[in-house]
Amino acid sequence: MGSSIERLSLGRLERYSRGLRGFWRSYSRNRPAVMGLAILFLLTATAVLTDLLDPYNPFGIYPSEVLLPPSFSHPFGTDDLGRDILKLVMFGSKTSLLVGFSAVFIASSIGIIVGALSGYYGGRVEDILMRLTDMLLIIPNFFLILLIVALFGSSLRNVVLVIGFMTWPGTARLLRSTFLSLREQEFVQAARVVGASHLRIIFRHLLPNGIYPVIVNSSLQVGSAILTEAGLSFLGLGDPSLVSWGRMLSIAQMYVRRAWWMAAFPGAAIFITVMAFNLIGDGLNDALNPRLRER
Amino acid sequence: MSMRRYILRRIPQLIPLCIFAIVINFTLMHLAPGSPIDYLVGGGEVVPKEYIEKLTREFGLDKPLHEQLLIYILNVFSGNLGTSYRYRTPVLQVILERVPNTLLLMTTSIMFAFVLGIFLGVSSSKRPYSLVDNLASTISVLGYSIPTFWLGMLLIIVFSVYLRWLPTMGMSTIGAQLEGWEAVIDTLRHLILPATTLGTTYLALYTRLTRASMLEELRKDYITTAWGKGLDDRAVYYRHAFRNAMLPVTTVLGLNLGLMLTGATLTETVFSWPGIGRLVYDSIITRDYPVLMGIFIIVSITVVLANFIVDILYAILDPRVRYK
């Protein structure tokens, strides 16, 4: 008896923290996923702190230190302008994370809206939205992004917007299919009977239940947005006013015979970052997917 | 439904997709800074007035927008994609010249990835969580996250610069007058590194997919029956499970063509492989926009067609699809 009264009086915050604890318990069982999260923390800390701790000019020229191999004072060596590669890689983390997170934020928002509307309302709305989604899904994404950035200029803002606006269809499809199965379930019908509005049903009942696959997918998408940005920069379509790992690799190409370290370290940074997001995605999938959890 | 009717019914669905790609191109051409003429001949150069007039007439640039769009679509369908600013030849020709080289690179990589990926996938599905399986999973996680262009550069550093086993760039040794078998071997030597680079992502993908798909099949009743009949390993794994497990793997092969072309672009750039991908890079650097837009259209239409072919293939492999 006492326990049921206790349960009723649980505050929302406490219920929330219990949920989080349960989530963490199943997430932390996946060791690679924990490693991915650790890498992400490290990267974020680097991106935030680089500016504050180290007054280094990433656009300076240091003629006496050109193309030095890795050493004690320059652990990652120096580049063709004598800049310290370790510091450049640290600066680059900011660009990558910024592009990754903001592009995916845009893409997920559009994807959630389109997916929710077409999954919930069905009919005409669904037909039109899904046709657009399918078309965008089939058009080779990278080439379209590349073309738009080439035509409209490769500022950071453009790159983020274009990646964001071109990569939402996957999310939309995913959420739509979850909504299609959820909307027939009893708790939704119950909500409808009680007289809940469409918006309330979508946001309070369907979305909290159907958002997990989207979260998993978004985590993977951050990785691929970072790869896309790196690829664009590598092809000469990066923001020239920023340090970017892809651009560093692009320049490193010219020195591949003389300075392996110029290619090795920025590329490793991309690799590790993308892998971190993939591992986190896998971990989230295991922890959030109720069907897998029961096993 | 017969196969032919199935195909005939699917063909009309192709056209809107192709037109969609063309409309995107058209819209970009008009929205981007500068005039559409710049994107048909490439900007930054003095173009003879007569030629501009000819183009204006050809693409109806003095007509209202909707007519322009129609003319543009008709032009594209008849192969007129404008003129390359850099090569001074029709865009279509510039692109088509590069197609065989890209095809050579892509088919080699796909074969490498497909064969090895299936082998690794099947081996690891035989003993899940064994040493082989863990090795295969590690390869697929690593292969899936590695940036193609970085892998290419690493291979160059190790195998060309330090070991000096293989050439760094291009498709053939410059200046060497090789004939017959020597020329073939020379090309193959140039092919090894780029094909490995491009194939690695797909190796990861096929390994993962084959494993998952095999595990799913192996759980089914007919496999239990097959074991019960006393069939040996080979028969059960390859003649029974494998054939059914290949269905999703084949589909992904076609569906990933767009991704594969992205990989090819980056790989060809690293290795200066004279294909469409390298052409993308060169066109960005020289601002040869007509070529860039032409590539987008050609690539889009190719991907649409590939998806169509995959659908058909799927219907042939799995008759159930046709009756939906």
Q: What is the pLDDT of residues A210-244, one digit of tens each?
A: 888 899 899 999 999 999 999 999 998 988 888 89
If pLDDT is split at 50, 70 and 90, which confidence band does A4 have? very low
- ∠ CA A31-A33-A39 to the nearest 5 degrees? 110
Inter-chain touch A231–B17, beta carbons under 8 Å: no
Q: How far is A10 from chain B (nearest CA, A)?
A: 42
The partner residue sitting opposite A270, judged by closest CB among B20, B150, B157, is B150
Q: How far is B18 from chain A (nearest CA, A)?
A: 9
| pLDDT at residue A294 in the model | 42
- Quickly count: other Cβ atoms within 10 Å of residue B180's Cβ: 7
Query: What residues of chain A, 208 to 227, have a C-beta less than 8 Å from chain B?
Result: 223, 227
Inter-chain touch B296–A144, beta carbons under 8 Å: yes
Terminal-residue alpha carbon distance, chain B: 10
Q: How far is A148 from chain B (nearest CA, A)?
A: 7
- ∠ CA B102-B108-B111 to the nearest 5 degrees? 135
In chain B, what percentage of residues exceed pLDDT 90? 15
Tell me, what amino acid is at B79?
G
| pLDDT at residue A54 in the model | 66
Q: Of A30, A36, A13, which Cα lies nearest the Cα of A288?
A: A30
If pLDDT is split at 50, 70 and 90, which confidence band does B1 have? low
Among A133, A145, A254, A256, the strongest candidate for a mutation testing the B interface, having the largest count of B CBs within 10 A, is: A256
Among B145, B287, B293, the strongest candidate for a mutation testing the A interface, having the largest count of A CBs within 10 A, is: B145
Inter-chain touch B300–A267, beta carbons under 8 Å: no
Can you tell me whether residue B67 is helix, strand or coil?
helix
Chain B residues closer than 8 Å to A270 by CB: 147, 150
If pLDDT is split at 50, 70 and 90, which confidence band does B265 have? very high
The partner residue sitting opposite A260, judged by closest CB among B21, B157, B266, is B157
Residue of A nearest to B269 (CA): A235
Average pLDDT over residues A75-83: 81
Asked if residue B272 lies in contact with residue B283, where contact means CB atoms within 8 angstroms, the answer is no
Q: How far apart are CA B32 and CA B34, in angstroms?
A: 6
Asked if residue A225 lies in contact with residue A100, where contact means CB atoms within 8 angstroms, the answer is yes
Inter-chain touch B141–A275, beta carbons under 8 Å: yes
Q: Of A89, A28, A62, which Cα lies nearest the Cα of A245?
A: A89
Residues 6+ apart with CB under 8 A from A125: A117, A118
Q: Provide the token pair at A288.
A: 């959030």
Whether A180 and chain B come into contact, CB under 8 Å, resolves to no
Inter-chain touch A140–B261, beta carbons under 8 Å: yes
Query: Is residue A122 over pLDDT 80?
Result: yes
DSSP string of B140-196, one letter each residue: HHHHHHS-HHHHHHHHIIIIIIIS--S--SSSS-TT----HHHHHHHHHHHHHHHHH
